[in-house]
Amino acid sequence: MIDIRDVIIEYGRGARAVLAVDGISLRVEPGESLALIGPSGCGKTTLLFSVAGLVRPRNGGIEVGGENVTGPRREIALILQNAGLLPWKTVWQNANLSLLLSKEYPRKTAASVLEELGLAGVKGRFPVELSEGMKRRVGIARALSMSPSVMLMDEPLASLDTLTKERIQDLFLQLWRDRAFSLVLVTHDIEEAAFLGQRIAVLTERPARVKRTVENPGVGDLHYRETAEFAGIVGQLREALEG
């Protein structure tokens, strides 16, 4: 469970301080998915980084699994916009990087995850030899290698073409259903939020506050995009963002 309570986040000090997040409270139950959507620069990523333990709130608190988040934790995985691959390391080395840092390697490896994501045949290649879609899957493999209970994603599919994006969205959905991790997704893509978020929190301009929360119980079906319910959720989100 993720419990965000009255979180206020500032950058800088004194007269130069910038208020990024202003009093946000949200709760994500075990195995639930939450999408955060809002204007560019509103504070979505800042809030996500605070859940990851990379940014400390000025006020309020964040708990994961009943424990205060005071820094990065192994059960919390973070996937960034560009997959964050090291260009001088192979697919195998990049996928196992988190395990290497935790000293669990070679007792535990990312072999089964690479197989699951269709990457076992390219494990000796370098990032420059991969398509953008494959690079994103390597980033996913690295995150899954630690068997996280919480998956945080910051615009993980930005800049991908529509078909590749939808294929990886389908992959995210299947992984979330199969592995039952709690998911928090930051996105600018209204349809992505509607496809992956059981709840969608629409945030205001900076400083970020929760403007509206949209319940989205239809999430979980790979054919959800084709339904009238999905179109209705997209309409609600567009109205909330434009309102």
Instruction: Dump the DSSP string for 80-144.
Output: -TTTT--TTS-HHHHHTHHHHHHT-TTTS-SHHHHHHTT-GGGTT--GGGS-HHHHHHHHHHHHH
Sign of the four-CA dihedral 203, 155, 183, 10: negative
pLDDT of residue 100: 79
- pLDDT tens, 104-115? 777 788 889 999
Instruction: Write the CA distances from 67 to 155, 167, 237, integer angstroms.
Output: 26, 35, 32
- pLDDT tens, 62-79? 999 999 999 888 899 999
Q: Check if the beta carbon of residue 233 is closer than 8 Å to that of residue 216.
A: yes
Q: Indicate the SS3 state at residue 235.
A: helix
pLDDT of residue 102: 75
Instruction: Write the CA distances from 204 to 27, 35, 42, 143, 235, integer angstroms.
Output: 18, 14, 7, 29, 17
Q: Which residue has the tokens 């560009």?
A: 82
Residue 8: pLDDT band (50, 70, 90) is very high
Q: What is the chain's mean pLDDT, rounded?
A: 92
Architecture of domain 2-75+149-242: 3-Layer(aba) Sandwich (3.40)
pLDDT of residue 200: 98
- Assess whether pLDDT exceeds 80 at residue 97: yes
Give dist(CA 192, CA 166) in Å, integer: 8
| Domain ranges for the chain | 2-75+149-242, 86-147
Q: Which residue has the tokens 């204007």?
A: 39
Helix, strand, coil abundance in the chain, percent, nearest 5 = 35, 25, 40
pLDDT (mean) for 134-151: 91
